[in-house]
Structure 1
């Protein structure tokens, strides 16, 4: 089955405290009402794509907690609790752990001392790539690869180009055999055996796309990338993400997605 095939997802309501969220580049604080509207449209897009979406409550103590992909990974066999690299986020793991234990028969957990963010993890059919970054160190990547092996996945650490916040800031899987990536990531040749579709110059921020079933979701405002994807035969859904992107985030960050074989 395709690794882009999903029928369940967990998301979390944006907190009012998101105005204090982490920002590597300060584009101003997000408007919380608009952020929640963007999040609602994202949930609707997932549902339209065939995914049953479960909404978790906001966590006001954690401004970045809307980005549920960073503290955990989920697969059909089970989940892995991570250790986010930002000190203000490490407590998010304990918050989401009970929700995952309710839904998965097996939940593994990193114990440290290393760190790993889910935003640095790109899952392909043959390999799970773990990007080294300011949020994912070598020790954490090594521990995560060991945990992935318990689920039968081959994990390898890769080093994205300088200046990439998370691996998936600059690339995303748009088909089992194709990665959408910035030119810098494409030139780094991180992905053996995969076709790499290069984002047009000037549209690098759209590299964090999200393939869900038959749809590739991208941020609004990147017409050349949309045209490139549609020329390749992809069905593209465009979503407004102005407030989300103020928090150095994108489409993949906002959900934990998996395929539940027990669900039609």
Structure 2
């Protein structure tokens, strides 16, 4: 039974005004988004995570994408410095949440920029997307912070995608699942390619459970065939804003 915390943040009433970078803007149903967020929370709770609310940031349309504000590694919380300036007010709530969990808090400082969605942790290896919202200085600062917890961080160049974890994530056994045309595959181990965009956005929830979007049914079937247990959630309104299942939470595993 998982006893770690899952940090989430309620969607802003201004969610429909969220930033879109690589896709065309389409209307967002904010009420549906709220119901989907409730279902997302329920999926985390059902997998044994203690759902913890980060203080709302209603003036920040993208604040529901809480992953971008905080990188957690063991007992270390790295407060980010988002590449989009309008998202930086979101950090205060992330700091308060990390401090309430008694994590060791450090931060990315100017001129560095870092979005948590660019940080993929796979065991002792950490892959960091660079060239979009995260810059070289932000990567180097994160690299130094993570080294204090025995992690080795490597940069990965992005190609026309918002964040690294918009293109590649990992199964519980460490296998990387990706849309390979969106990242520099030379910087990554062997990949398991998928065809559905939502299929490369996975959140290991503990044991064999894997959170995946309802928009990727073929990938969910593949994951099941590989021996894992897909936990499917509909996040259609967040996908309209380049969001995915990884963006909507920060998992803080129990510290042994």
Aligned residues of 2:25 and 2:240 also touching (Cα < 8 A): yes
How far the C-alpha of 1:6 sits from its partner, in A, is 6.8
- Determine the C-alpha separation between the residues in 1 that align with 2:97 and 2:161: 30
- What secondary structure, in the 3-state scheme, does the structure 1 residue paired with 2:171 have? strand
For 1:6 and 1:152, the matched residues in 2 are separated by 23
- TM-score normalised to structure 1 length: 0.90
**Cα RMSD over matched residues?**
1.8
SS in structure 2 of the partner of residue 93 of structure 1:
helix
Q: For each residue in 1:150-174, what CA deviation from the matched residue of structure 2 results, as whole angstroms up to 9, or x when unmatched? A: 22221121213x1121000011111
Q: Secondary structure at the match of 1:252?
A: coil
Q: In the TM superposition, what are the counterparts of 1:1-264 in structure 2 within 5 Å?
A: 7-24=4-21, 25-160=23-158, 162-185=159-182, 188-192=185-189, 195-200=190-195, 203-213=196-206, 214-261=208-255
Is the Cα–Cα contact under 8 Å of residues 133 and 165 in structure 1 kept in the other structure?
no
Specify the SS of the correspondent of 1:151.
coil
Residue 28 of structure 1 deviates from its aligned partner by 1.5
1:2-52 deviation line (CA, Å, top 9, x unaligned): xxx772111001010111111122342321111111111111111111111
Structure 1 segments of 4 or more deviating over 4 A? none
> TM-score with structure 2 length normalisation?
0.93
Contact between 1:218 and 1:238, CA under 8 Å: does it hold in 2? Answer: yes
Find the aligned partners of 2:244 and 2:3 in 1 and give their Cα distance: 18
Distance in structure 1 (CA, Å) of the matches to 2:102 and 2:176: 28
Q: How far apart are residue 139 of structure 1 and its match?
A: 1.3
Is contact 1:142-1:157 (8 Å) kept?
A: no
SS of aligned partner of 1:89: helix
Q: Does the Cα contact within 8 Å between 2:155 and 2:187 map onto a contact in 1?
A: no
**Structure 1's 113 and 98: CA in aligned 2 closer, same or farther, altered over 3 A?**
same
Shift of 1:185: 4.9
Q: Shift of residue 68 of structure 1?
A: 0.8
